Structure formats: C-alpha cells, structure tokens
Amino acid sequence: MINLLKFELRKLRQSKAFYIIFSLGLISITLIMLLSKVITDLASVLGSPDLNATNMLLTALSSGSFASLMAIYLALFACSDDAQHTIKNIYARGYSRTAVYFSKYLVSLGVVLVMAVIYMVYSFLFANILGAPARSIPAYQWGSLALQFLWLIGLHGLYFGLSSMIGRLGVAVAVNVVGITIVFGLLDLLISLIFVRVKNFNFSIRDYHLESVLVTLMGNKLTKAQLLRAILLPIGYTAVFVTGGWLVSRRREV
Amino acid sequence: METSQNHWVIETSNLTKTYGSKTVLDHVNMHVAQGDIYGFIGKNGAGKTTLMKLLLGMSQPTQGTIRLFGATKLTQARHQIGSLIEEPALYKGCTAAENLRRFALLANADASEIDSILRFVGLGDVGKKKVGKFSLGMKQRLGIAIAMLGHPDMLILDEPINGLDPEGIKEIRDLLLRLNREQGVTILVSSHLLDELAKITTRYGIINQGRLVEEIAADELMKQCQQKLHIVTDQPAVAAKVIKKLAPKAKISANENSLDVAGEKLESSKVNTELVKAGINVESITFATDNMEDYFIQRMGGRA
C-alpha cells in the first residue's frame, strides 16, 4: 500500500491537469471576490456593506466553481490509469485491486481536502488585502464550516466512486459535470408528475442532491431536518458510491 | 501459504475462461518449469493473451486454479513477475526514464537500476523525448524495460518483438537469453514468429481454440520433426492400419496417395515388408525431415 501511495503521489506531483485545475480554482475565487468587492463598494453607498474575510472563508467552496472543478479533476484522477491502460502494469505487479482502488481514493481525498483548505485560507487573506477584515460570526457558522468538510468528503465519494464505476475518462467527466444534475432534474420531474394529484405533496428529490446540502450550509441556522441531511447525505453518498466503485473495479477486465 | 511440492513456477489446473456462452480458455493445464523459456504458440484468438492476463490478475478465471512459484496466494507471487501484455502500457506524456521511475516504485526497484536498464534495452540515448513520440519498436523496448524492473524471477511477455526491426528482434532475443542464462529468469513468451521463438525456446505450449493441445520440450520436438517416414502408396488408409499394428504409438497422417509416420523409430525395410505382406503396393519409402512450422500449424488446427 505504501508503494501505491508513493506511486500515486509521484503521478500527482507531475500532473499538469492537477495544476491547471488548482489554478482555475484560485482564479475563479479571485474573480468572484473582486466582483464582490465592486458590488459591495456600490452597495456601501446605499449603506449595506457585506464583504468580510470570515464570510469569504465560509463561502469559499460555494462561491467559485469548486464543485465543477472537482467533478473534472476526480474523473481524470480515477480514470487516468484505465484510459492509458497503465492499470495493467499495476495489477500485474501483484497489487490487489482493493489496495489499488483505496490508494487512489485516499490520495485524491487528501488532495481535495488540502485544496479546500488552501482556497479557504486564500479567500480569507485576499479579502483582507481587499480591505475587508474578519468579523465575528455566530458559533453555528463554525459548525457549518465543519459540515462543509463532511460535504466535501461526500462530494469526493460521489465523483470518485462514480468515475471508478464508469472507468472511461470522457464519459466520467460528462457524467460528473452534467449527468448527475440532469438525473436529479429528471427524477424531480418524474416524481412531481406521478404525485401531481396528491395534495400538499412537497417532497423534492433535489433536497437529496449534495448541491442542495451546500446551499443549506450557507444559509441561516440549520433546522433539525437540515442538520440530519447535512450529516447523513455525505455519509450515504460516500458509502454507496465508494463501495460501488470498489466492487466494479474488482471485477473489471483490463 | 499453501505451496505445491513440484518445481513448476506456473501451474494451471483446468483453467477456464468464458465470456457469456463463448469459451475462450477451456480447461487448460499449463506447466512452466523453473528456468524454462516457454514458447507459447497459437493462432490469433486462440487464447494466449487471455491466459497470460489470468496469470497476471488482469482478468479473473471462470473456473480452475493457478499456482505461481508453487503458491496459491497469487498477488504476493506476482511481485516476482515482470510482464508485457499486448501493446506496452505507458505514460505517453512522460519520458522513458520517468516511466521507469514511476513503475520502479511498484517493483521495489532501486532508482539506480533505471539508467542501466535503459541502456540494456537500447534506449540509453532518448533523453527527454516524450514516450508519445516514440516509434512502436521503442515503446516495445520500454515495455520490456518496465518488465525488467526489480529483477523479477519470471517474465511473461506477449508478442514482445512486435514492431521491432530485425536488429531489434535480435537484440531482444539476445537479451532474453542473457536474462535466462545469466540470471536464471524463467520466461513465458508468445510470438507469431515461430523461427524467432525456436531460437530461444526450451519448451513449447501449443494452444488451439482455447485448449492447450500440447506441451513439448524443444529437444523432443526436434527429434519428432526429424524422424518422419514418408510412404507413397495407392492404399494409404489400409497401410495406416498395418503400420499402427507395427508401431502403436506412431503418429500417422494419411493423405490421398501417401502417409507420414512420426513419433516412433521405424526401419523402412521392415515397414516395406509388412506392407507388401498385406498386399499393399508401395511406390516409395523415404525418411523426410519435417518442418517445425508445419508441425505447429498442424497442431494449431491447420492454416488460418
């Protein structure tokens, strides 16, 4: 397992895709913060300034294109050895499929978590540079920050597991970036058509999409139901998709 | 770890692989001994690559067992194997040295091996050229270099001389012979180039339509190919019966007006006497030298 982790980290260090995606994330955050600054300056004329470093730190993952970039990056990471057929060399050297899969899982999870921390710290520092220092925030928002990391683990599990199940680079990128949203949209439509005659029917499958969890975390204090969803959904997504990817990769012929 | 008591480094028992209703490998019992250069021969689609993939864990058998180095714990045993299956799997955006550095981590190989291996396979001067710009022959050499990382005890090579020019073929042949003779590396190698295989192989396995038709030592094969009695007669079928009584273990192949008898040492005069006694008109009896290629083609089910 140690050899596999070293192998994955070496590939990562030399991966152009990784540096491009990481830079795009920073550029995206920078542009959004500059835009926020302009809007805030305009709004301050009207007496409602809202830009501050703490807020920028808390919204770093939701304000940019973080989720989309992760969707692309994790598809590339999970499928690159399958796409280049180099996975043959790895299996043939006597590494179990489980060890190969989970070494990729651990390295990519580490990368995603580190990237998130860097984006948050960058947002905080850049906001200070823009003249928007930190402000004290309610305690529950720090709890939301912790839940954002849980959300991130769920998002990683979804994109990594799904990409591993698909095993083909182009298809995995497409499914991660737009496929999941399309599926939720279609399911939502289908469910509302089926239950169109039911009075007071207010179930929405979209509430179970990880995107909606992040939106909830950005809002006010969570209700009990929202808190449960914010905890259980990432765990559920991780369990289902990481296990699915593992089972498929164990059986795949290379 | 469960181990077998014999000297086989590869031993399969009833190894079978099916895809749906199609049987690609059918109860294969293969035996490769320590120090062998085992030439694995068969037509395209006969099952050579599938068997190699099963040995290396790239595919799972439907039925049967595999022992590597006498052990059934295959992932551990595979640490001692270097391989090249189908076309070389390489990181095309990297240099040859970087490809080796990456795979050296998996093979527990020392980084100092890399330069010498590159020189060994004739890629010592490729510098920073990206692998994506390599010719097929260069990729093939790099694939072999990757297989050699970590001083494996066994190499499994699927068509390793594909795409190589005559000089390259000779270099790879010499390389395999050196690895086998100097370092005792066991080699399982498949190739369509029978003449090339014949120059290095110590033992052959012939596969046809998923079945391992025959395993034969190279020297035994040479004997079989040399001892063939060619009889011209107008009654080959009757003659075959007479000869079968005379030499029950002989391999007889009858044509329209002749028959070939191989596998047993026979005196032509005795055969002639017996055939004449049986009332068969014998036009001629000669000793012929069989062609090794014909032997394989016959075992592989005739010409494609």
Residue A17 CB coordination number (10 Å): 13
The rounded percent of chain B whose pLDDT value lies above 90 is 44
Least confident segment among A10-24, B137-151, B246-260 = B246-260
Q: What is each CA distance from A135 to A48, A57, A254, B7, in whole angstroms? A: 15, 11, 54, 75
pLDDT tens per residue across span B103-112: 999 999 988 8
* Predicted local distance difference test score (pLDDT) of residue B90: 96
pLDDT category of residue B290 using cuts at 50, 70 and 90: low
Q: What does the pLDDT average to over A30-43? A: 83
Q: Which comes out higher in pLDDT, residue B227 or A171?
A: A171
Task: Pick from A48-62, B15-29, B237-251 the range whose average pLDDT is largest.
Answer: B15-29
Residue among B287, B274, B224, B280 nearest B257 (CA): B280
pLDDT category of residue A77 using cuts at 50, 70 and 90: very high
* Predicted local distance difference test score (pLDDT) of residue B1: 47
Q: What does the pLDDT average to over B205-216? A: 91
Give me the residue from B85, B106, B108 closest to A90, CB to CB: B106
B59 contact residues in A (CB cutoff 8 A): 253-254
Give me the residue from A3, A16, A86 closest to B105, CB to CB: A3
Q: What homologous superfamily is domain B227-299 in, according to CATH? A: Protein-tyrosine phosphatase receptor IA-2 ectodomain (3.30.70.2470)
Residue B125 CB coordination number (10 Å): 8
Residue B21, pLDDT > 70, answer yes
pLDDT category of residue B304 using cuts at 50, 70 and 90: very low
Alpha-carbon distance of A126 to A142, in angstroms, equals 20
| pLDDT, mean over chain A | 88
* Predicted local distance difference test score (pLDDT) of residue A55: 80
Cβ distance of B101 and A10 shorter than 8 Å: yes
pLDDT tens per residue across span A123-154: 989 888 887 777 887 777 788 888 999 999 99
Q: What does the pLDDT average to over B213-231? A: 81
Give me the residue from A11, A87, A89 closest to B146, CB to CB: A89
Q: Which comes out higher in pLDDT, residue B186 or B260?
A: B186
Residue B5, pLDDT > 70, answer no
Q: What does the pLDDT average to over B219-237? A: 81
Q: Domain ranges in chain A?
A: 2-251
* Interface residues from chain A to B (CB-CB < 8 Å): 3-4, 6-7, 10-11, 14, 16, 84-96, 251, 253-254
Contact in structure between A214 and A154 (CB atoms under 8 Å): no
* Predicted local distance difference test score (pLDDT) of residue A38: 83
φ and ψ at A32, to 5 degrees?
Answer: -65, -40
Cβ distance of A92 and B85 shorter than 8 Å: yes
- CATH classification (class only), B8-221: alpha beta
B8-221 matches B227-299 in fold: no
pLDDT category of residue A243 using cuts at 50, 70 and 90: very high
Q: Which comes out higher in pLDDT, residue B253 or B24?
A: B24
Cβ distance of A93 and B53 shorter than 8 Å: no
Complex-level ipTM beyond the 0.90 threshold? no
The rounded percent of chain A whose pLDDT value lies above 70 is 97
Q: What does the pLDDT average to over B254-268? A: 81
Q: What does the pLDDT average to over B124-151? A: 91
Least confident segment among A169-173, A217-221, B150-154 = A217-221
Cβ distance of B108 and A16 shorter than 8 Å: no
Look up residue B17 and give its two tokens: 């692989």
* Predicted local distance difference test score (pLDDT) of residue B2: 47
d(CA A109, nearest CA chain B) in Å? 21
Q: What does the pLDDT average to over A15-23? A: 93
Task: Please report, as a single letter, which amino acid is at residue B150.
Answer: G
Q: What does the pLDDT average to over B228-248? A: 88
* Predicted local distance difference test score (pLDDT) of residue A49: 54
Least confident segment among A94-98, A107-111, A127-131, B147-151 = A127-131
pLDDT category of residue A46 using cuts at 50, 70 and 90: low
Q: Domain ranges in chain B?
A: 8-221, 227-299
* Predicted local distance difference test score (pLDDT) of residue B302: 67
Cβ distance of B94 and A14 shorter than 8 Å: yes
Query: Chain B residue with minimal CA distance to A4?
Result: B106
Query: Chain B residue with minimal CA distance to A80?
Result: B91
Residue B222, C-beta contacts closer than 8 angstroms, at least 6 positions apart: B292
* Predicted local distance difference test score (pLDDT) of residue A213: 82
pLDDT tens per residue across span B39-94: 999 888 889 999 999 999 999 999 999 999 999 989 889 999 999 998 899 999 99
